[in-house]
Amino acid sequence: MSHSSFRRDWITKPIFQMAQHALPGLSETEREAIEAGDVWWDAELFTGNPDWNKLLAFAPARLSAQEQQFLSGPVEELCRMLDDWKINWQWHDLPPEVWDFLKIRKFFAMIIPQAYGGLGFSAYAHSEVIRKLSSRSICAACTAMVPNSLGPGELLLQFGTKPQQDYWLPRLARGEEIPCFGLTSPEAGSDAASMLDSGVVCRGTFDGRDVLGIRLNWHKRYITLGPIATVQGLAFKLHDPDHLIGDRDDIGITLALVPTHLPGISIGRRHLPAMHVFQNGPNWGHDVFIPVDHVIGGVDQVGKGWKMLMSALAAGRGISLPSLSAAGAAYTAHVTGAYARIREQFHVPISQFEAIKERLGRMAATAYLLDAARRMTCAALDAGHHPAVVTAIMKAQATERMRVSVDDAMDVHGGKAIIEGPLNYLGSLYRGVPIGITVEGANIVTRALIQFGQGAIRCHPYLLKEMMALEDADQTRGLDAFDRAFWAHVGHSIVNALRAWGRAWTGGLFAPAAQAGAATPFYRQLSRHAAAFALAVDLALLTLGGALKRKEMVSARFSDILSELYLSSAALKRWNDEGRQNDDFPLLEWCMEASFATIATRFDEIIANFPSRPVAWLLRLLIQPLGPRRRGPSDQVTARCAEIITNPCPARDRLTVDLYHPRETENENGLALVERAFAMTVAVQPIRDRMRTARVRDTAQALKQRTITAAEAASLKAAADAVAAAIAVDDFAPEELTSRGAANKGDVSSQATSQATRQLTSEQLPSGPVPPQSYPAPAAPAAAAE
């Protein structure tokens, strides 16, 4: 008997049998979620020994000339057309010319290949468009976002049959069809797979023909673009009681394209999500009949809806909301830095108060970090990866951190940001934050179940192999596979334990690092933490097994550590990719120190709450013998970060590159007023310094004493006027507030529907491929609002 056979039969086999009983199997939806997408840098972090050179060698995301032109052309033009105040509070919709512009310039077709008449943009270009739009109008950004993320376009591209692609994609690209995607229903939110919406396979009449089809009944809610959609991607559970398409009664979650004009559909009513007016609403279907070839991917794809959804989400989750969040963080840092510089209290700019600097510093560093992570993730997507765990991290972390930045911005602005009106440039974003937190997987569940729960299975070098082996119907083959994976796992754990212990006890001084100048020590610390993470993961899996899934507080802390490792890697990569800018170093340092402090705290919390105390003590001894010793960024670093956004400088500009900047002429724009006041305040600073040195506060006296010239006095006056305009807030006549609601009440939905679904004239429509005759053409979309 060979050594390996002895090991397999006498040592591995009992473990194999025990594990088969102890570990709960994966549910079908869990398995499909785990099989969707792939792994990337997340898997490297799970090894405990990430290869930094691999990260730095990864090509950064780049825009093509055409993409760059789109940003400086149509996107800039669109931003100028938008007036967020009027959109939200007066029109309750985008104006008709904006809807037309979105369609004609193909904002709804960024992901559709050029062969179908779309723009065929990279993930990075798509992200840049959403980012820039988000800095101008959340409503416009959400409207442009939806057709380019999870929905008919994406699903057709990945899973559609050729006739479906040939029919729908050119129509979507030309803006003739407005898509939405209906997954959520009243009873099924986070647990979307528990939906009651159903379809029954049957025969019926469609377009005068007797066809095999599906009779649908549903109630969906919260559906973005739903009220004006001409086609809804619908998720439902398919049943086949008469076995017309197979031998199963219950086929499972299925996705179909449902033209919204069909009889039995009620659509058009609107929700008001946090007083944001992008089109969003409920819809219902009662005995709606569709031919079976409306199933996305055709009859072969029935029952595979969950897998399709997870696969589409694996990429999309990393683009839309992270782009909006990165824009939100950069925009708020930029404007709050300027505002803090022009707003004076106690005779000094509030930017000089330490407690304000604390917030400004955090905002500046968050802006740097989120954009670093957004760019790195887009680069991975453009390289062909679909890293589901990374994109879940991005979605949850970006939206959470944007929330902190927006709260900071609100607090620094005080009443100025609270009073609504055309001059308020923060209220809209503030109200929008919970939307980002909730959609595409609410953050609490994403953090507790997905990031680490799925990450541990997919990214761990051996765990998935072991689980697959345990579930193998062929016991001998399963045992062989388990034997190989299990012992490799044991070796990996031992090496990691030694690695983690060595790096912890030497403070990470000798841990591997890329040669990255001043940033090199950060790599060493991350290497130290990655080893500790890998060891802690193995001990948690060993002692908790399947129960880890229910220990959400423990799992969420592991998620935080994994997220910190990912985001910090991105910050390091950005600093390197941008040529190691010295001026940006405080931002990098802030991000890294904050990350190390969070990681140390989470490890401490995991150890304190670990159910098995002996294992907790072992973990403490190996990875954190002296407890959590990182305290976060120093006050000095925080102050330097704050200075970056309160002074005009290249580092400040780098944070907002390619965001929308209002033009000086846009007097009505509150942001433009702050920008102007900021520039003028900075320009007169030397004059004010001279007056301070001469101990004169009053301009007239300074003139009299010849401390300043008449021209300088005029500049001071102009700057003071600009500041007065910038700090102003809106007020309304009482009748304006009481009458506006009543005046608009009757026409909100009719106005919205007529503007958005207005058919473009043939001259307005760009040319594109002609749809084939074979696919059933829907009737005129006149009943969308009925």
Ligand X SMILES: Cc1cc2nc3c(=O)[nH]c(=O)nc-3n(C[C@H](O)[C@H](O)[C@H](O)COP(=O)(O)OP(=O)(O)OC[C@H]3O[C@@H](n4cnc5c(N)ncnc54)[C@H](O)[C@@H]3O)c2cc1C
Query: What span, in angstroms and rounded, lies between the C-alpha atoms of 61 and 371?
Result: 12
Q: Is there binding between residue 422 and ligand X (CB under 6 A)? A: no
Given the complex with ligand X, which of 147 and 387 has the nearer CB atom? 147
Minimum separation from the CB atom of position 87 to ligand X (A): 16
**440 included as an active-site residue:** yes
Minimum separation from the CB atom of position 274 to ligand X (A): 7
Query: What span, in angstroms and rounded, lies between the C-alpha atoms of 600 and 529?
Result: 9
Contact 179, 227 (CB under 8 A): no
Given the complex with ligand X, which of 480 and 552 has the nearer CB atom? 552
Distance of CA 123 to the CA centre of its chain: 13
Q: Is there binding between residue 438 and ligand X (CB under 6 A)? A: yes
Given the complex with ligand X, which of 198 and 715 has the nearer CB atom? 198
Looking only at the bridges linking them, the beta strands covering 231-239 and 209-224 are unpaired
Q: Is there binding between residue 452 and ligand X (CB under 6 A)? A: no
Contact 565, 559 (CB under 8 A): no
Q: Two tokens at 738?
A: 């009481």
Given the complex with ligand X, which of 182 and 328 has the nearer CB atom? 182
Q: Is there binding between residue 181 and ligand X (CB under 6 A)? A: yes
Minimum separation from the CB atom of position 444 to ligand X (A): 3
Query: What span, in angstroms and rounded, lies between the C-alpha atoms of 101 and 694?
Result: 57
Residues 141-180 that bind ligand X (CB under 6 A): 180
Q: Is there binding between residue 267 and ligand X (CB under 6 A)? A: no
Minimum separation from the CB atom of position 182 to ligand X (A): 5
For 568-611, the three-class secondary structure string (H helix, E strand, C coil) is HHHHHHHHHHCCCCHHHHHHHHHHHHHHHHHHHHHHHHHHHHCC
Minimum separation from the CB atom of position 190 to ligand X (A): 3
Q: Is there binding between residue 23 and ligand X (CB under 6 A)? A: no
Q: For residue 210, what are the β-bridge partners? A: 205
Query: What span, in angstroms and rounded, lies between the C-alpha atoms of 255 and 661?
Result: 41
Q: Is there binding between residue 449 and ligand X (CB under 6 A)? A: yes
| Active-site residue, from 440, 589, 593, 712 | 440
Query: What span, in angstroms and rounded, lies between the C-alpha atoms of 182 and 630?
Result: 46
- Helix (H) or strand (E) holding 235, with range, is strand 231-239
Applying CB under 6 A, among 137, 143, 224, 493 the residue interacting with ligand X is 224
Task: Please choose, out of 203-211, 218-226, 259-267, 596-604, the segment that lies near ligand X by the rule CB under 6 A.
Answer: 218-226
Given the complex with ligand X, which of 388 and 479 has the nearer CB atom? 388
Minimum separation from the CB atom of position 450 to ligand X (A): 10
Q: Is there binding between residue 190 and ligand X (CB under 6 A)? A: yes
Contact 677, 718 (CB under 8 A): no
Applying CB under 6 A, among 273, 281, 297, 305 the residue interacting with ligand X is 273
Given the complex with ligand X, which of 170 and 436 has the nearer CB atom? 436
Query: What span, in angstroms and rounded, lies between the C-alpha atoms of 257 and 172?
Result: 13
In the three-class reduction of DSSP (H, G, I as helix; E, B as strand; rest coil), residue 284 is classed as strand
Q: Two tokens at 247?
A: 């031998």
Instruction: Tell which residue, 244, 184, 241, 186, has the closest CA to residue 213.
Output: 244
Residue-wise over 348-375: b if at least 16 C-beta within 10 A, else e?
ebbbebeebbbbbbbbbbbbbbbbbbbb
Total count of residues recorded for the chain: 786
Dihedral sign, Cα of residue 571, residue 576, residue 578, residue 584: positive
Q: Is there binding between residue 182 and ligand X (CB under 6 A)? A: yes
Applying CB under 6 A, among 19, 81, 104, 444 the residue interacting with ligand X is 444
Task: Please choose, out of 97-105, 182-190, 291-299, 677-685, the segment that lies near ligand X by the rule CB under 6 A.
Answer: 182-190
Residue given tokens 């390996």 in the structure block: 4
> Closest CB to ligand X belongs to which residue?
189
Q: Is there binding between residue 302 and ligand X (CB under 6 A)? A: no
Q: Is there binding between residue 253 and ligand X (CB under 6 A)? A: no
Applying CB under 6 A, among 99, 222, 430, 462 the residue interacting with ligand X is 222
Task: Give how many residues touch ligand X by CB under 6 A.
Answer: 21
Q: Is there binding between residue 183 and ligand X (CB under 6 A)? A: yes
Minimum separation from the CB atom of position 554 to ligand X (A): 13
Q: Is there binding between residue 547 and ligand X (CB under 6 A)? A: no
Applying CB under 6 A, among 87, 169, 435, 727 the residue interacting with ligand X is 435
Query: What span, in angstroms and rounded, lies between the C-alpha atoms of 774 and 163?
Result: 8
Q: Which residues bind ligand X (CB under 6 A)?
A: 180-184, 189-190, 222-224, 273, 280, 435, 438-439, 442, 444-445, 448-449, 552
Catalytic residues: 440
